[in-house]
Amino acid sequence: MRLIIVLSLLLCLTVVSAQVAMPVEDLRGWGGRDKDKGKDKGKDKGKGKGDKEPVNGGVEALKKRIGDLQEKVAKANDTIVPFKGGSLKGLVGLLKVNEAVVTLGTTIDRGTKSAEATNALSATESTQVGTQFLALQPDINNLLAELQGKRKEFDKAGFKILDVRSLIRDSVEIQKDKANDLGGAFTKVLDRQFQPIGVQISDQIQGNFSRAIDEYEGRGGKIKIPSKAVPKLTDLLAGVARALGVTDNDRMMATGPGPVPEVNTVPLTNFPNVEAAFADISAADTPQANSAIEAAIRGTSDMELSRLGRDENDLRGIPPLVLAVLRRYDVI
């Protein structure tokens, strides 16, 4: 019975990684399928997914990975608890959540590779690994509870302009495959008598993914962020912040797409790190910008968003400078 609980907690962790939103393809940003997934499988053995850190197998390596996961889950939870959307400060919070998710996703991938490099564990070793996973239970429960209560805040994070809800939902869908990889790798190394239990729980976890996807069904903003723009998410959000901070009201608002103003009004950015983006967004945090945000949120109803198709955009009412930034980063 104890090992059944252990397996349940193990596979719950995969759901946590999905609900946080989502997998990481690059150093910054959510989403993005691995184009070469399944190709040349087995090459570069000893490398983690998405990084060059050597991979070690064995019970001690698994214990270390579990400890790393516990730390990263706690840090992700620490960014989600205070998160509030609907202001430029909310963009900083969104980037902090994103950074924590990037790190957590990389750690999960490393855990998968360590499990793949591990020979079958004895019943005693399986119990040792499982006992350590039990210590993750409070953090996992807290993270799940916070995520479930933050969907509306994530909707406001995009000011009903950027569709953050769909960004999260698409990432959860991508994570369904990754969850099978992680759960399957750990199940394989458990003592043989417990492997059928792992398979059964893996099937159950697909239902959990479906429920997570349903939680983020629909649209949270007029503009969907395509996967090709995800690696530039930090610069994109900072650019939107700058555009909203421009003081010329006549150029800020429009009743339709209209002519796009000079793109140089909002300089191109390529921040070396997230902290630099924080500083840039904070500098744009003005009453003018937040008034524009409030107007954008008030000006778009949930009914309007519900009429949009899964990949449909609505450019009406979006400030011209924001449109210029969205075009610059290939969002529209």
Residues 177-197 have pLDDT tens digits of 776 787 788 888 888 887 776
CA distance 99 to 106: 11
Average pLDDT over the chain, rounded to an integer: 74
- At 238, the pLDDT band (50, 70, 90 cuts) reads confident
Token digits of residue 287: 């009453």
pLDDT at 204: 67
DSSP state letter for 246: -
pLDDT tens readout for residues 119-176: 998 988 887 877 777 676 677 667 767 777 788 898 898 999 999 988 877 776 776 6
pLDDT at 299: 86
Q: What is the mean pLDDT of residues 285-304?
A: 86
pLDDT at 249: 40
pLDDT at 244: 81
pLDDT at 52: 67
pLDDT at 57: 92
pLDDT tens readout for residues 95-108: 888 788 778 778 88
CA distance 234 to 20: 17
Looking at residue 41, its amino acid is: K
Which of the given ranges, 37-41, 47-51, 92-96, 137-141, has the highest pLDDT on average? 92-96
Question: CA 169: distance to chain centroid?
Answer: 9
> Could you state, in order of their start, the residue ranges of all structural domains in the chain?
2-33+53-215, 227-328
Q: Tell me: pLDDT of 38 over 50.
A: no
Q: Tell me the three state secondary structure of residue 200.
A: helix
pLDDT tens readout for residues 266-293: 666 677 777 888 888 887 788 888 888 8
pTM exceeds cut of 0.75: no
Q: What is the mean pLDDT of residues 191-218?
A: 73
pLDDT at 31: 44
Q: Which residues contact 217 (CB under 8 A, 6 or more apart)?
A: 169
CA dihedral defined by 285, 235, 143, 35, rounded to 10 degrees? 170
Token digits of residue 23: 């997998």
Token digits of residue 86: 């609907």
pLDDT at 247: 42
CA distance 322 to 195: 52
